[in-house]
Amino acid sequence: MKIGILGAGSWAIALAALLHKRGHQLSMWEFNPADAEMLRTKREHPVKLPGIHIPESVNIVNDIREAIEHAEYVVCAVPSQTMRSTMRNMVKSVPKSDIDKIKGWIIVAKGIETGTLKLMTDVLLDEIPGMNTDKLLALSGPSHAEEVSRDIPTTIVAASENIALAENIQEAFSTETFRVYTNSDMRGVELAGSVKNVIALAAGICDGLGLGDNTKGALLTRGIAELMRLGEKMGAQSATFSGLAGIGDLITTCVSKHSRNRKMGELIASGLNLEEALGKMTMVAEGVQTTKSVYDLSINLDIEMPITHEVYKTLFEGKSAKLAVRDLMVRESKPEWW
């Protein structure tokens, strides 16, 4: 299988290493020319994924046309907030005949676009002429690049309205240590992968404040409740949020030392403002901008999402983390509901 990978961050590199083991032909596009040259020379990203070798046969390019022109499938691994600009650049740069022959677009970015409040599949539908949902797939689940790249057993979900595409990707990506399940609820899988990052920010805030296991357990449980409410309003299947892309990824992201969003929450809890905390991050914490989007969605759709609202106020309105936790705890008493 010939696969083009758009993006060259930690997840893109981990997938390139995994797909190389399956014998696929790979091209990986890096936007920044200097970074592309560094990756070609070092065959490793010493900051984003140190110690993981990028196989010599992976063609690392700075011209997006080279990543697309021979590809049968494309992995979209750029940050969610740059997905639209990347797709526009691709459409301008790559002949339509090369784009039309792509059999599947595999989205691994986890986020909701600010302003438009659109999922990544919606962005591709907007920007790629002739695109339809039969060619789109969301790949998501509890899958830190640091562990996948080191062959630590991982399970993930390939979600598409086109079950044949999901099964093709399942077969192409599966290894002895990387198990892929299929799912038809692409929208639910995308939502789960996006919103869990907001809850992970809250988990990091809890950790930064030195709160305990009781707090974390409550946060995860009520966090999945918020996710399910939003998913129901947006047409997702509730069962999706009980699976790998939902509670599986939520737990992993909220407890893992590898989680960028949990780390970001810790920095905020330490007393840094958003700009200062972002300055200490070496990789993108998708949950920051997604918090804006989920907050706006909750307002527009009239959904009760108190954790999301407190994370938003802490990040963007300067509310103290301690006060945010206190305000969650003293809300009006009510029955537990989902």
**Active site residue ranges:** 196
Interior angle at CA 210, CA 206 and CA 212, nearest 5: 75
| Residue 233 and residue 260 in contact, taking contact as beta carbons nearer than 8 Å | no
CA nearest to 225, candidates 321, 306, 143, 136: 306
Residue 45 DSSP code? B
HSE-up of 73 (CA within 13 Å, CB side)?
A: 22
| Residue 126 and residue 85 in contact, taking contact as beta carbons nearer than 8 Å | no
Amino acid at 257: K
Token digits of residue 321:
């983390």
State the alpha helices, DSSP H only, in 209-286: 213-233, 249-255, 260-269, 274-279
State the alpha helices, DSSP H only, in the chain: 10-21, 33-42, 64-68, 83-93, 96-100, 120-127, 145-148, 163-173, 186-208, 213-233, 249-255, 260-269, 274-279, 287-300, 306-316, 321-329
| Residue 106 and residue 137 in contact, taking contact as beta carbons nearer than 8 Å | yes
Which of 327-335's residues contact partners 24+ apart within 8 Å by CB, and which partners? 331/306
**300 vs 278: CA distance, rounded Å:** 28
Maximum Cα–Cα distance for the chain, whole Å? 60
